[in-house]
């Protein structure tokens, strides 16, 4: 699968983008035959509508795509992608009708609409390809699309083929592609290197736990991305019911997201010192599984009482975050499919994030709107700190009561970053039903917004 733009040439057919209230005026400027054809086919300019206009020989000569209204476009994203699949195979170029400020995001949406996960079943390729609109950076958009495709592929792959070893292989391939260095600590070596909670969570699995550590770039500000790589989560001894276990191949969605974002940054030559840390584990059940009421000692020295083995993601992230913080980078960002509470709060389409840095928030929010990658700020609410402090240890991995689960998880993670600016994303990583440019399945969330914002965030 190649999410790339088509080459321009004489075979590329023109596309006219029409809003609903512009259709009649446009038809008044066309030949009577074409106007009659459009009216007879019922084209109104609605979102998702596409109509091919034949030439004198009956072959496609051009096409119309409905662009709805500004109000209706607010209810969705990637309006061109909603109609692109209805066009016949071939190259198409935008002739008119698309506002200049939407060229880039709509062109990217068209690219993303070409994604197919075909590892196990052949999928029909997208037929209509877009010529890069004049004025957009085609190479940059293709790099973003490739990063998103990597994230989707990793999440969509089942745990039988995407366990800790395979996640490591994917990271190694990415490192080799971009000339990055990579170091991996596995199994008992995690204890020897003071990564005890990553070891504790993953030790019950047949495939050893590991910490993947990738570095790229030798100048500019330092950015460390930390991604939760729980390749499958049974819940451990607090075993999940079957219905809750059904999508747990996506519990490494944070790792998939940071690898996709890393590709975007490296492929476009971002000036920074980039580090990617991924604790890759499976939360399994065996005689060696960690238990409720165990007390674990973290890399940072903080003790953690285990009150639910199904709250394991924050444990592996904690050791990785403590390691990241020791270098005092300019910015640490963690991404994880961490809590069901985040889904209850904002649903599957929004990426909740936590940051107390006004510059980070301003840059991210502006970028999210510009690139149609919605995020929603949640609070590091200090009064809830007492909720994560049990009687016999420094921290509780699963506070009782059921309140503010997304916030208490973020507060837990923040305890392990004390020297660096920190932001945390509690993503879902899954598209429950198909939408324009987003087929059902794994999806990146927050990564394109971050990519667009990082230059401003790190330049201080």
CATH code where residue 40 lies: 3.40.220.10
* 266 & 121 share domain: no
Per-residue pLDDT of the chain (460 residues; tens, 9 = 90+): 579 999 999 999 999 999 999 999 999 999 999 999 999 999 999 999 999 999 999 999 999 999 999 999 999 999 999 999 999 999 999 999 999 999 999 999 999 999 999 999 987 776 899 999 999 999 999 999 999 999 999 999 999 999 999 999 999 999 999 999 999 999 999 999 999 999 999 999 999 999 999 999 999 999 999 999 999 999 999 999 999 999 999 999 999 999 999 999 999 999 999 999 999 999 999 999 999 999 999 999 999 999 999 999 999 999 999 999 999 999 999 999 999 999 999 999 999 999 999 999 999 999 999 999 999 999 999 999 999 999 899 999 999 988 999 999 999 999 999 999 999 999 999 999 999 999 999 999 999 999 999 988 998 7
In a domain, 431, yes or no: yes
* 243 & 260 share domain: yes
User: β-strand 273-283 against 210-216: which pairing, if any?
Assistant: antiparallel
* 326 & 226 share domain: yes
In a domain, 296, yes or no: yes
Quote the pTM value: 0.97
* 122 & 175 share domain: no
pLDDT of residue 1: 58
CATH code where residue 437 lies: 3.40.630.10
pLDDT of residue 116: 93
Distance, in Å, from the CA atom of 351 to the CA atom of 361, rounded to the nearest integer, reads 13
* 126 & 155 share domain: no
* 158 & 242 share domain: yes
Final residue belonging to a domain, choices 136, 152, 170: 136
DSSP element (H, E) containing 186: strand 181-186
* 128 & 166 share domain: no
pLDDT of residue 127: 83
* 193 & 328 share domain: yes
In a domain, 173, yes or no: yes
In a domain, 5, yes or no: no
Catalytic, out of 116, 240, 343, 377: 240
pLDDT of residue 123: 74
In a domain, 4, yes or no: no
* 340 & 374 share domain: yes
* 170 & 70 share domain: no
Final residue belonging to a domain, choices 103, 136, 169: 136
Is there a catalytic annotation at residue 172? no
Looking at the chain, how many residues does it have? 460
CB 166 within 8 A of CB 43: no
* 260 & 386 share domain: yes
In a domain, 128, yes or no: yes
In a domain, 231, yes or no: yes
Total domains in the chain come to: 2
Final residue belonging to a domain, choices 136, 155, 189: 136
- Which residues span the domain enclosing 191? 142-458
Give the N- to C-terminal CA distance of the chain in Å, as an integer.
Answer: 39
pLDDT of residue 429: 98
Is there a catalytic annotation at residue 314? yes
In a domain, 7, yes or no: no
Q: CA-CA distances (angstroms) from residue 278 to 161, 164, 257, 298, 416?
A: 18, 10, 11, 16, 16
DSSP, collapsed to helix, strand or coil, labels residue 250 as helix
Q: Hey, what are 11's tokens?
A: 């075979």
**Beta bridge mates, 274:** 216, 223
* 132 & 170 share domain: no
Catalytic, out of 228, 250, 314, 415: 314
Q: Give the number of other Cβ atoms within 10 Å of residue 355's Cβ.
A: 22
């Amino acid at each position: 699968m190649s999410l790339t733009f088509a080459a321009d040439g004489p075979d590329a057919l023109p596309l006219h983008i029409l809003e609903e209230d512009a259709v009649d005026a446009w038809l008044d400027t066309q030949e009577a035959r074409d106007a009659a054809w459009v009216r007879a086919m019922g084209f109104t300019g609605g979102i998702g509508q596409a109509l091919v206009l034949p030439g004198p020989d009956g072959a496609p000569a051009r096409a119309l795509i409905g662009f709805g209204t500004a109000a209706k476009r607010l209810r969705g994203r990637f309006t061109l992608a909603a109609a692109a699949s209805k066009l016949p195979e071939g190259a198409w170029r935008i002739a008119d009708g698309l506002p200049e400020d939407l060229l880039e995001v709509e062109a990217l949406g068209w690219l993303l609409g070409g994604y197919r996960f075909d590892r196990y079943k052949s999928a029909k390729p997208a037929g209509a390809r877009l010529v890069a609109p004049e004025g957009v950076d085609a190479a940059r958009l293709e790099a973003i699309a490739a990063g998103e495709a990597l994230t989707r592929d990793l999440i969509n792959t089942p745990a039988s083929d995407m366990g800790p070893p395979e996640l490591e292989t994917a990271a190694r391939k990415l490192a080799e592609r971009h000339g990055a260095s990579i170091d991996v600590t596995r199994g008992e070596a995690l204890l020897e290197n003071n990564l005890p909670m990553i070891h504790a969570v993953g030790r019950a699995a047949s495939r050893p736990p590991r910490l993947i550590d990738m570095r790229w770039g030798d100048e500019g500000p330092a950015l460390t991305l930390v991604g939760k790589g729980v390749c499958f989560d049974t819940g451990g001894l607090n075993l999940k019911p079957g219905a809750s276990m059904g999508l747990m191949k996506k519990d490494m969605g944070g790792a998939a997201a940071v690898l996709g974002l890393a590709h975007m940054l490296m492929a476009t030559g971002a000036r920074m010192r980039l580090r990617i840390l991924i604790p890759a584990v499976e939360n399994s059940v065996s005689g060696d599984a960690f238990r409720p009421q165990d007390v674990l000692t973290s890399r940072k020295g903080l003790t953690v009482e285990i009150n639910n083995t199904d709250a394991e993601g924050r444990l592996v992230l904690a050791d990785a975050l403590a390691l990241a913080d020791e270098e005092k980078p300019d910015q640490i960002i963690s991404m994880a499919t961490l809590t069901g509470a985040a889904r209850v709060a904002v649903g599957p389409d929004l990426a909740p994030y936590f940051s107390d840095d006004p510059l980070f928030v301003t840059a991210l929010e502006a970028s999210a709107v510009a690139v149609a990658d919605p995020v929603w700020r949640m609070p590091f609410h200090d009064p809830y700190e007492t909720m994560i402090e049990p009687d016999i240890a420094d921290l509780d991995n699963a506070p009782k009561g059921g309140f503010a689960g997304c916030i208490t998880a973020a507060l837990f993670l923040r305890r392990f970053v004390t020297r660096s600016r920190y932001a945390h994303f509690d993503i879902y990583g899954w598209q429950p039903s198909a939408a324009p440019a987003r087929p059902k399945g794994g999806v990146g969330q927050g990564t394109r917004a971050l990519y667009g914002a990082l230059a401003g965030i790190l330049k201080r």
